[in-house]
Amino acid sequence: MNTPELRQEIERLIASGDAAAASRSLAELWAQDASASSASFVTARFEELRAKLDLRPYRLAILRSYTVEPLIPMLRAAAFVAGIDLTVQLSEFNAYVQEIVDPGSQLYPFQPDAVILAVQTRDLAPDLWRDFSHMSGEQAQSTSSRVIADFRSWVRSFRTHSQAHLIVHNFEQPAFPSRGLLDDQSSSSQHKEIERINRELCGLAAENAGVYVLDYDALVARHGRLQWHDERKWLTVRLPMAAQNTHHLVKEWQRFLHPLTGKVAKALVVDLDNTLWGGVIGEDGMNGIKLGGEYPGAAYQELQRALLDLHQRGILLAICSKNNIEDAQEALRNHPGMLLTPKHFAAQRINWTDKAQNLREIAKELNIGVDALAFLDDNPIERQQVRSQLPEVCVIDLPTDPMMFARIVRECPVFERLTLSAEDQQRGTYYQAQRERDELEQTITSREDFYRSLQQEAEIAPLTKATLTRISQLANKTNQFNLTTRRYTEAQLLEMVASGQFHCFSLRVKDRFGDNGLVGVAITRDSADVCQIDTLLMSCRVIGRTVETAFLSFLAGHARKSGARRLEGWFLPTQKNAPAKDFYPLHGFAILKEDSAGALWSLDLDEKSLPCPEWVRITVLNGDLQ
């Protein structure tokens, strides 16, 4: 459908009350035309529909030294399409220092979830930008040191008032250094001085949980320094980029928004023919398909390289292809141009059934929601079929030119991560071990024999610096086996533990097939004679093997030791946590009260015991924080 027709269709769907279909058509419109004028149309329509849609509210404050107003409708439109209802607060021009330092400024009462600090070299270090050739080496260094010290003190100040995420734009390089070619030949160089600031900003982000760098310099470079600016716009309205480039900065912000709001894909399902290689394996055969280091096969290798990078980032790969399984397997195993091998794929559906059905099965096999899948297929008809039958899947549109494929995947914001734990990098092998476990389960008839044969070890430890990232990650993305679905940032977790009121434990599970990694989190709130479980969650891949009972048994022991006579816990139902619904009653808890939010369960520790299953061995480690 072309744009005017699509707009009429959207108006018709809104009038008929079909919010879900209207929302899908708005997404289609935005995919076709992400312009400033569509942005206003799309945001206005979503504002009408928001009450009927399940959108994630998110509050973003932007502190800035330049005009960003025209970008906001575009950012909000992109967010709406991704299922995020974004409220944006803009600071006054150049008021960012006051906003950060003054607890009474408009920033903190707004209670932002995230804050963007959009400043640039020419505002924060005008002498480095403009007057570099007049400066001595010492002057230049002292300027950049001052800038870095400022940033350090702002971050410190920000953290005393807010636990929000903070995204800092780094410093742009000039298109023409003041000293021309001499710049890179000298020991004191403008380029190196700005680079030093950017390196220090990365260090600052690494030292402070929840602080991230947006590589503004790389963004400008990617789109061409000389194409980026419209100097007249800067001089007249303080907009530091041409109208044609506004959406590039919006996209860059959006790349942060997805991991921050959890709107990410955990698995990417790929097609084979004309996607992973050129041509059709069943017709062209091993020697006929295009795949290798030279043109035209190199385009497909580039895509495979991009997929390998996702695999390293902890994103699962799966295959969904209409093919004869023997033909496809032969190419996957033995084609010399393949960079991906069968071991990189956590699930495979190579058959002739429809792809929507296959995707449902893949999600089930991988123990993730259908909404955690992304789908990559060169065939627009397959994409349309998946879009219409499974609107929650992130369908990636590929252009006809395979040379573009890798770039499209690399630009896709649902694959962005802001932190990476050891578990993420190992995820592929966990799924391989899981397949072996399933095979064992089928050969053993009694469940107890199966549990015993697994030789499970549960390693429980208090929150440590090393596990903080993973614990916060689990708290933010675990939906199914999660009793309360409370989301905590790294900074919040540290603050809770430091208060002494809360205890936070992680659970790592090993068995004869390998290490499952850190897969469970519990947070307790200890008061005089009650220990309340604030948070209890576990990754679905270890549920059903009784380690959840072992973990709860440990918590009962912890409660007893701290003098409690009751262990309590809420079950707060969501659309996704049905698997955890009967967890407390199954372990002997009695209901204490029930309200619209959920039910509070309680176990009398004087009367009841909660033994650990004999086939799970528990080890308790010491922490470095509590």
- Cβ contact 302:405 at 8 Å: yes
Angle CA 136–141–142, to nearest 5: 100
How many Å is the Cα radius of gyration of the chain?
Answer: 27
The Cα 69–Cα 230 span in angstroms is 16
| 21 or 242: CB nearest other proteins | 242
Nearest distance from C-beta of residue 229 to other proteins, angstroms: 11
Burial (0-12, 13-18, 19+ Cβ within 10 Å), 90? middle
Nearest distance from C-beta of residue 107 to other proteins, angstroms: 20
Nearest distance from C-beta of residue 283 to other proteins, angstroms: 42
Nearest distance from C-beta of residue 40 to other proteins, angstroms: 4
Nearest distance from C-beta of residue 307 to other proteins, angstroms: 33
| 47 or 354: CB nearest other proteins | 47
| 236 or 622: CB nearest other proteins | 236
| 15 or 181: CB nearest other proteins | 15
| 33 or 495: CB nearest other proteins | 33
| 37 or 185: CB nearest other proteins | 37
Strand partners, 270: 319, 376
- At residue 504, the 3 state secondary structure works out as strand
| 3 or 357: CB nearest other proteins | 3
**Helix spans in 162-280 (H):** 182-185, 190-207, 216-223, 225-228, 231-237, 246-261
Pairing mode, strands 456-462 and 616-620: parallel
Question: How many residues appear in the chain?
Answer: 626
The Cα 211–Cα 541 span in angstroms is 30
Nearest distance from C-beta of residue 25 to other proteins, angstroms: 16
Give the distance, in angstroms, between the CA of residue 287 and the centroid of all CA atoms in the same chain. Answer: 39
- The encoded tokens of residue 181 equal 């070619």
Nearest distance from C-beta of residue 242 to other proteins, angstroms: 6
Nearest distance from C-beta of residue 230 to other proteins, angstroms: 5
Phi-psi region of 123 (alpha: psi -120 to 50; beta: other; left: phi over 0): alpha
DSSP string for residues in 297-316: THHHHHHHHHHHHHHHTT-E
Residue for token digits 């990559």?
376
Q: Which amino acid is at 349?
A: R
| 48 or 207: CB nearest other proteins | 48
Return residues touching other proteins (CB under 8 A): 35-38, 40-41, 44, 67, 69-70, 73, 230, 232-233, 235-237, 239, 242-244, 246
- φ and ψ at 348, to 5 degrees? -140, 135
Nearest distance from C-beta of residue 383 to other proteins, angstroms: 27
Nearest distance from C-beta of residue 496 to other proteins, angstroms: 41
| 182 or 237: CB nearest other proteins | 237
Nearest distance from C-beta of residue 49 to other proteins, angstroms: 16
| 69 or 361: CB nearest other proteins | 69
- The encoded tokens of residue 572 equal 């707060």
Q: Which amino acid is at 493?
A: L
| 77 or 219: CB nearest other proteins | 77
- At residue 616, the 3 state secondary structure works out as strand
The upper half-sphere exposure of residue 210, i.e. CA atoms within 13 Å in the direction of its Cβ, equals: 21
- φ and ψ at 173, to 5 degrees? -85, 145
- Cβ contact 417:264 at 8 Å: yes
